[in-house]
Amino acid sequence: MKILHLYHDIMNLYGDYANVSAMKRVLEKSGEEVTVDKLSLADTAVLADYDFIYIGSGTERNMHYVLEDFKKYADDFKACVDSGKVILLTGNSFEMLGKTITDAQGNVYDGLGLFDFTVTEQNKTRMTADAVEACDFLTRPLVGFINKCSEIKGVKNPLFTVTMGLGNHDGDKNEGARLNNLFCTHLTGPVLIKNPHFLTCLAEKLLGRAPESDWLTHERAGYEITLRELRKRSQSH
């Protein structure tokens, strides 16, 4: 199997490479041979050649640079999404997929237009929070951390329902976005390490069968501790 870690060097704020490492390991433990290509701004990839595509989070400035480069993949990326390819975007990387991004100075950047949402950035304060989020395709919620300076409005197909933390915009109880097997979330941590059940869910989509996951004992224990403590904190408020 082939994994593409796109913009690995400049969209890697929160140890995002660990999401790729975790996916590679679970596939290998399940008997697959796996290669990982780490490509960036100066490179050109054939997206259709890959089984799993990942982009992590970056500073707002770096994300704007990446957006201009990412547009060269616009048609191919949409084709991959339409075909059901498994793709994960975390942090602010998925903001590139909307209609527009308006930065703190009022400059407007055209997005890829895969979604109808719009993004507005501000530089007065960063919005940070631990998070617990639920979804309809997993029996357990996800945990993680959100650190952003943007509000996203107009998401019609959110990925998660927020039970603790920040939504796509102020007052919103929805977070992230989804289209087919494209999963988009601001959750960092990295999300696949913190949530081994999400990791095995995505791996099952890639394999077409349940992955080997008995080795995830420590990750599952860490998840249970994190979820318990976050729920305690939420109830105390």
User: Mean pLDDT for each 10-residue chunk of the chain (237 residues)?
Assistant: 97 93 98 98 96 96 96 98 98 98 96 98 91 96 96 98 96 97 95 97 98 96 97 82
Integer Cα distance of 47 and 188 in angstroms: 24
pTM of the model: 0.97
Q: How many CB atoms lie within 10 A of CB 154?
A: 14
Check residue 216 and give its pLDDT.
96
CB 133 within 8 A of CB 187: yes
pLDDT given at position 224: 97
Phi and psi, residue 38, nearest 5°? -105, 105
Look up residue 151 and give its DSSP letter.
Answer: E
Please choose, from the candidates 81, 22, 50, 29, the residue with its C-alpha nearest in 3D space to the C-alpha of residue 209. 29
Confidence at residue 236, expressed as pLDDT on a 0 to 100 scale: 73
Q: How many CA atoms lie within 13 A of 97 on its CB side?
A: 24
Q: How far apart are CA 118 and CA 109, in angstroms?
A: 10
SS3 12: coil
Which CATH code fits 2-96+132-147+158-236?
Answer: 3.40.50
Residue 153: the pLDDT is 98
- Sign of the Cα pseudo-torsion (79, 133, 56, 112, in order): positive
| 64 close to 36: Cβ distance less than 8 angstroms | no
CA–CA dist 235, 105 (Å, integer): 39
Cβ-contact 194, 90 below 8 angstroms: no
- Write down the domain spans for the chain: 2-96+132-147+158-236
